[in-house]
Amino acid sequence: MRLAICSLARLGGFLSTILLATALPSGETNFMSVRENVAKDYESVTEIPQDKYFSECALISTVPPSSGISGPHQVEEDAESSFHYHYDGRFAEAPLPDDQVTPHLSALIRTYLTTMASIGAETWIMHGTLLAWWWNQKIFPWDNDLDVQISEPTIHFLADYYNMTQHHFDIPGVSGGRTYLLEINPHYVVRSTQDRLNVIDGRWIDTSSGLFIDITAVRKDDEQRQRGNTEALMCKDHHRYDESQIFPLRDSYFEDVPVKVPYAYTWLLEEEYGPKSMTNKFFGGHKFNDETKVWDPIV
């Protein structure tokens, strides 16, 4: 397994903000205007893979698979080795205590966003993470996973230059800090939604706990574009969008660090979760407090 230490940063307070501010390129160039120029032509694999690259909640072998690509492959999944589908079994044998999940997830998304900004990788939050942002820019206290998306040029960029790299962060209150692994699914080159086993294109993994962020690439929907929809985008997990619903990305904050959110976030959330998702103040054993803007547990 090829691993390289490619970043060392202190996560916390103003220093994180400074790191992000200094890492971003100068100027007012809109990435929309150059996206086509940085995208390269990649031939898709014609055959649909029959194997699932990422495995969850199972004991994983560290021996590289026969393909020669260093990464996870499942040895055996049974009642003893399977414990939770939001953990990578290479780095954990049991879920974290409930009171430790949210702090670990907060560090997970903060380190991911910091790293992507520092290397200039275009990414934004989506799905349940976007809904959590809409309420109070914080992770839902009952959540145990995070979802982000990246553009198609970005998945090629990460695969070419950052796949299987480790990123170490000094985190306040954590002795020795934590190391995070960026891993890209080699089947990302298969653009077909028929590849149902590999809908996740990459992961940002906390090697201290096994928790991870699912990274999904948003690609051109060639089929819909041939039918006349020149803005059509798609993901391998069957989510489809128009380009104007995602871009231009909006600037905001999530877990106290800068984040990008899709342009038509309200429409996207209503489409995925229904309008009540943004008005129902009782969920997951919690009630939203309008004064403190915090989800309080219902006793």
Backbone angles phi, psi at 289, to 5 degrees: -95, 110
* Residue 120 structural domain: 5-24+97-283
Q: Report if residue 58 sits inside a domain.
A: no
Predicted TM-score (pTM) of this structure: 0.81
Count of domains for the chain: 1
Quick check: is 84 in a domain? no
**What number of CA atoms fall less than 13 Å from residue 66's CA on the CB side?**
1
Task: Copy the structure tokens of residue 248.
Answer: 């231009």
Tokens of 100: 């430790």
- Assess if residue 77 is contained within a domain: no
Q: CB-based burial of residue 183 (10 Å sphere; 0-12 exposed, 13-18 middle, 19+ buried)? A: buried
Residue 105 lies in a domain: yes
| Tens digit of each residue's pLDDT, the chain (299 residues) | 333 333 444 444 323 332 333 233 333 333 344 445 444 445 555 678 888 998 776 444 333 333 333 344 333 333 334 556 789 988 988 899 999 999 999 999 999 999 999 999 999 999 999 999 999 999 999 999 999 999 999 999 999 999 999 999 999 999 999 999 999 999 999 988 899 999 999 999 999 999 999 999 999 999 999 999 999 999 999 999 999 999 999 999 999 999 999 999 999 999 999 999 999 999 999 999 999 999 999 98
CATH number of the domain that residue 237 is part of: 3.30.460
| Domain presence at residue 107 | yes
Please check whether residue 228 lies inside any domain of the structure: yes
Q: Is residue 115 included in any domain, yes or no?
A: yes
Is the CB of residue 39 less than 8 Å from the CB of residue 181? Answer: no
175 in Cβ contact with 29 (< 8 Å)? no
- Assess if residue 297 is contained within a domain: no
